[in-house]
Chains A and B, each alone.
Chain A
Amino acid sequence: MQEFLQQVVNGLTIGSIYALVALGYTMVYGILKLINFAHGELFMIGSFLAFTLIVSANLMEHIPHPVAGLVAVFLLVALMVAVIGLILERVAYRPLRRSSRLAPLVSALGASIFLQNAIMLVYGGGYLVFPENLVPNIEWSVGGINIGLMRVIILALSISLMLFLYLLVQKTRLGAAMRACSLDHDTARLMGINVDRIIALVFVIGPALGAIAGIMVGMYYRQINFTMGWAYGLRAFTAAILGGIGNIPGAMVGGLLLGILETIGAGYVAAAWKDVVAFIILILILILRPTGLLGERVAEKV
């Protein structure tokens, strides 16, 4: 039982990372009905930019307090990746807004390959290693379940961000405008909503969340590589589908659930199965319940 709970906690940690990345997929899908294949790359770029700030620019040394240093890294990287997200939307997607659905999809794949190669050219193809002890190596034991400080940070930060996003989308006027845009662009415009601006906002929030997830993965697993966007992107995309693509709470639930399933799968079946879990779930969901767990019937708008 204890071991099981330990797996659940471990699964929630990685799951909250998937959830943060999944939000980027689901929000863009919600508003543009487009799978932003480059989103995994934005996550990966978050890792690399954090690496640059921490290791190459030695930012942490310049800021007296280590917590302030980390906060600065998170804020700066989130901001930079948000800007990349905005540029991506402007260059790769907006010009194709009125074309067939295939064109932006191809453009997304192109952007993904471009970003991956750009990072490879700048940073090289090998693994980069984050320094140890960015976060003190403290571990607690609660009822026999071990949980380290980095895990606590990941869980606390992701869950706060998700809660914040949830409240923004569900409880504010701006959130209602975002939901309206994902239902019907033209009618949203008749309300006086600047749809282009809402789309831009989505391309700020999604990439920023993805970047934060990327930093946390870098700090937690410490090894990063230019291909990591693909592996995490696939899982996050699976999480988004699992929860019902386009559905924001769905992405959160889907991410956490996938993290738990994957960890338990690895713990009880075989570690080698870990990588297959996401694929199996993706295929099963697409066959059995394409609308995902929380997906609404898509009848209202096709």
Chain B
Amino acid sequence: MAMLAVENLHVSYGHVHALKGITFELKEGEILALLGANGAGKSTTLRAISGLVAPRAGRILFAGKDLGKVPAHEIVRMGVAHAPEGRRVFATLTVEENLILGGYSRGRDRKGLEETRRQVYELFPRLYERRRQLAGTLSGGEQQMLSIGRALMAAPRLLLLDEPSLGLAPLLVREIFQTIKEINARGVTILLVEQNARAALRLAHRGVVLEAGRMVLAGSARELLGDERVKKAYLGEK
């Protein structure tokens, strides 16, 4: 059984039909890259999975359970964490408070939370140095680390990452991708939305390409890296 199954997903914002029937699966332990141009519907797909927008049609199954009527705050409890587009750290809260809220869904599991927080600080030592600082005063890269670290605090089985490399310097991008690989190696399944298609496909096992709310391509990362259409449209090759 797939960990996540998205079946014929449709989402609308008012009369904007953002997703027009998307179907894909994610197996346990996998990294799936979700690619596409601006406005293709990548973020919307993630928002539908984590319950921030309601599907108009179709189903989303997580570990066999239909998420259709489950509110967002319950979906985290089931094991899906979402580091949203634009980081969305709580700017006037400290780094540590942001992490505490990341673990909010785990209730009073003090020991477990303490342990996860230690792991997050180990993964991102810079967050530890800045733990008493207000999140809004962090640099863009640090905010991205906080956003990912905060999602990890939920101890998710599935991690949704929306453009983690956006706006970061190349060196930092490499660092973030390395960290994503490490998180995956620790057993977290990852759905990775990226504009940076090449880097994402190097990391991912498989990829899915969206175009204007429809799925146009799907395959192994290697296939997609070699695909002429992908090369032309997303890898900037001729």
Contacts and interface: CB of A to CB of B under 8 A. Distances in A.
A190 B77 contact: no
B88 A180 contact: no
A3 interface: no
B134 to A, nearest CB: 10
A94 B97 CA distance: 28
B51 interface: yes
B50 A190 contact: yes
Contacts of B172: none
A184 B136 CA distance: 13
A300 interface: yes
A190 B76 contact: yes
A193 B101 contact: yes
B82 A190 contact: yes
B84 interface: yes
Nearest to B50: A190
Nearest to A296: B92
Interface in A168-216: 173, 176-177, 179-180, 183-184, 186-195
Contacts of A177: 101, 104
A176 B76 contact: no
A121 B53 CA distance: 45
- Best-buried of A183, A184, A191, A301 by chain B (most CB within 10 Å): A191
B217 interface: no
B90 interface: yes
B168 interface: no
Q: How large is the interface on B (under 10, 10 to 19, 20 to 34, 35 or more residues)?
A: 20 to 34
Interface in B81-101: 81-82, 84, 88, 90-93, 97, 100-101
Nearest to B80: A190
A179 B90 CA distance: 9
A96 B76 CA distance: 26
A151 to B, nearest CB: 35
Nearest to B150: A191
B88 A195 contact: no
Interface in B31-58: 50-52
Contact of A180 (B71, B72, B93, B106): B93
Contacts of A296: 92
Nearest to A173: B100
Interface in A247-271: none
A189 B102 contact: no
A192 B88 contact: no
B73 interface: yes
B93 A192 contact: no
B73 A195 contact: yes
Contact of B154 (A184, A192, A195): A192
Contacts of A183: 90-93
B93 A300 contact: no
B14 to A, nearest CB: 11
A192 B52 contact: no
A249 to B, nearest CB: 12
B92 A192 contact: no
A195 B82 CA distance: 17
B105 interface: yes
Interface string B105-132: 1100000000000000000000000000
A192 B84 contact: no
B176 to A, nearest CB: 19
A190 B52 CA distance: 8
Nearest to B74: A192
A300 B91 CA distance: 7
Given A186-B52, A192-B76, 16 more contacts: A179-B90, A179-B97, A180-B93, A183-B91, A183-B93, A187-B90, A190-B52, A190-B76, A190-B81, A190-B151, A191-B105, A191-B154, A192-B105, A296-B92, A300-B92, A301-B91
6 contacts: A180-B101, A187-B90, A189-B71, A190-B81, A192-B154, A193-B101
The 6 closest A-B pairs by CB, nearest first: A192-B105, A189-B72, A192-B76, A300-B91, A187-B88, A191-B101
